[in-house]
Amino acid sequence: MKRTLLTQLKHWQTKSQHLPLLLRGARQVGKTYLVEHFGKSCFEETVTINFELSPEYIACFDTLKPKEIINKIEVISKQRITP
C-alpha cells in the first residue's frame, strides 16, 4: 500500500501544473510518514503543516488565493516557499 501511494505522489510531482497536495485520512495510518518520506526523497526542502500540532496555520486558509496562502505560511514558518 505504501509503495502504491508513494508512486501516486511521484506521479503528481511530475505533472507540469499540479494542484496543491492535501492528504486526508483516518488517524494513525501513516499520512505523516508518507508525506515526510516523499518530501525527503523527492525535494530539497519541504514545509509540512499539521493543524493539530500548529493550529496557527489554520488562518492561512481564510482565503482561496494560493499566493496569499503561501505568503502567510512563509511568515509563520519563516521559510521561503517556491511552488
What are the helix (H) ranges across the chain?
2-14, 31-42, 66-77
pLDDT of residue 15: 84
pLDDT of residue 63: 95
pLDDT of residue 77: 93
Q: In the chain, what percentage of residues exceed pLDDT 90? A: 39
Q: Average pLDDT of 49-68?
A: 93
Buried b (16+ CB within 10 A) or exposed e, 9-25: beeeeeeeeeeeeeeee
32 close to 38: Cβ distance less than 8 angstroms: no
Given a cut of 90, whether residue 65 has pLDDT beyond it is yes
- The predicted model scores a pTM of 0.68
pLDDT of residue 53: 92
66 close to 20: Cβ distance less than 8 angstroms: yes
Closest CA to 20 of 9, 31, 34: 9
Residue 6, all three cell numbers: 508513494
